[in-house]
Amino acid sequence: MEPAAIHEELKSRFGDAVMEFREGNGDPFIVVNGSHLLEIAAYLKEAQGLHFDSLMCLSSVDYGENYAVVYHLYSMQHKRRVVLKVYVEKADPRITSVQSVWKAANWHEREAYDLMGIRFEGHPDLSRILLPEDWPGHPLRKDYVFPEEYDGIPCHRE
């Protein structure tokens, strides 16, 4: 099943929670609504003919006006892939954790939280994974302001 057909199937099942399907220069992707993410994820994993049992990558993007979380899924059985994208608000970036569906999401979500500040609700331990625990802010945000110093060490950046 091609990504376009998967989009059709999801659309018929979840209605408005599944938004547009886009093809561009990179991988084609399906935009879904964050409020129904968990059901859609579980369906993609379990449903006959889909079986997207592997979360290859979970990443986050800062588009300026909002953030996005991107899920690259792979089906070991059918040897095919699909990309989901969820847009989240800039003011209060929150999204459901898919950790209960794909265990691999655990550390990926912590990384996205650490570097982009996206809160994954329902995550068992949403703490920083790379940076020190007391680091100020989330450095991969486009509007990140570097601290003057950290732990007595100057952090000057040009």
Partner 1 sequence: MRKMINEMPGNVLFTTVDQFLNWGRFSSLWYLLFALACCGIELMQAGGPRTDLDRFGAMFRATPRQSDLMIVAGTLTYKMASRLKLLYHQMPEPKYVISMGSCANCGGLFQLGYSVVEGVDLIIPVDVYVPGCPPRPEALAEGIIKLQELIKKEKYLVKDN
Q: How far is the CB of 154 from partner 1 (least distance, A)?
A: 6
φ, ψ of residue 104 in degrees (nearest 5)? -60, -20
Tokens 């003057």 belong to which residue? 148
Structure tokens at 2: 């091609």
146 binds partner 1 (CB under 8 A): yes
Site membership for partner 1, residue 150 (CB under 8 A):
yes
Our CB check for partner 1 shows the closer of 47 and 140 to be 140
Stretch that binds partner 1, among 8-16, 55-63, 78-86, 127-135 (CB under 8 A): 127-135
Q: Does 130 help bind partner 1 (rule: CB under 8 A)?
A: yes
Angle in degrees, 0-180, between the axes of helices 3-14 and 37-46, rounded to the nearest 10:
120
When the beta carbons of 104 and 140 are compared against partner 1, the nearer one is 140
In the complex with partner 1, which residue's Cβ is closer, 28 or 147?
Answer: 147
User: Reduced to 3 DSSP states, what percent helix, strand and coil does the chain have, rounded to the nearest 5?
Assistant: 25, 30, 45
Size of the site for partner 1 (CB under 8 A): 16
> Among 131, 142, 143, 148, which residue sits at the site for partner 1 (rule: CB under 8 A)?
131
Residues that bind partner 1 (CB under 8 A): 130-132, 135, 139-140, 144, 146, 150-151, 153-158
